[in-house]
Amino acid sequence: MFLTSRQSEIVELAKSHGRVLVEELAGRFAVSPQTIRKDLNDLCDQRLLNRIHGGATFPSSTENMQYEARRQIAAQEKQAIGLAAARLIPNNASLFINIGTTTEAVGEALVDHHEMMVITNNINVANRLRLLPAMEVVIAGGVVRASDGGIVGEAAVDFIRQFKVDFAVIGTSAIDADGALLDFDFREVKVAQAIIANARHVILVADSTKFERTAPVRIAQISQVHSFITDHCPLPSFRRICSDNNVELIETDAAADRSEGFI
């Protein structure tokens, strides 16, 4: 994603002031309004800004990105995380797989497993794994979220509570420095909390961009997780929280470096 110096400054102005206006930007940069409109259109196409009449706004932290955009972010990292999570899960196991593009990567990595029972509120995971004869796929009931095929709501919570499984794979929209795992949709959070409460081993999967984001609804604390798989944990304080609470931290970038002799 390449931004010109002017576009980068426009993003910073929008971040500082909440919004930017075409006429003001044209005067500031001594360019035509048409040039600024093109800049804003490019930035909105890249989902860095939201277009409004006469200008653009900086996206609110309470607005989650569209599913396809989220799926493309850190795609290689998510694939590596999915493979690492699959290595923790043996054959002949039962597990929950929650909503999320990284949890879907775990589902993709489980294709060679056998004698598995997978309970999920993620239609995309169910559609992929149902094709495998060695998988028994159970899908939760409830409200299907149109944006990503996630099943949420009280009916899904009640359904999840019927089970006690060996493993749970959960994702998160944001990770706070104090160890809080955060999300945008309180209905999804209720399902995630039920999944955590009814699994013997909870695996959190999240790429490092989640440390750069914020969201308004608390799912849980990292201390409620047994294993955390990420490409890289950039916060020493968060590493200490994991260590203090006996959370296994697995960094796929570090594993790749070791395999190539860099560490």
- pLDDT tens-digit map of 76-135: 999 999 999 999 999 999 999 999 999 999 999 999 999 999 999 999 999 999 999 989
* Percentage of the residues of the chain whose pLDDT score is greater than 90: 68
Average pLDDT over residues 144-157: 88
Q: Residue 207 has what pLDDT?
A: 94
Residue 166 and residue 200 in contact, taking contact as beta carbons nearer than 8 Å: yes
**What is the per-residue burial (b if ≥16 Cβ within 10 Å, else e) of 27-62?**
eeeeeeeeebbebbebbbeeebbbeeeebbebbeee
Which residue in 165, 144, 164 sits closest to 153, CA to CA? 144
How many Cα atoms sit within 13 Å of 152 on the Cβ side? 16
Query: What is the helix (H) or strand (E) element at residue 21, kind and residue range?
Result: strand 19-21
Q: Which domains does the chain have, with CATH numbers?
A: 5-57 (1.10.10.10), 69-259 (3.40.50.1360)
Residues across the chain: 263
Residue 176 and residue 182 in contact, taking contact as beta carbons nearer than 8 Å: yes
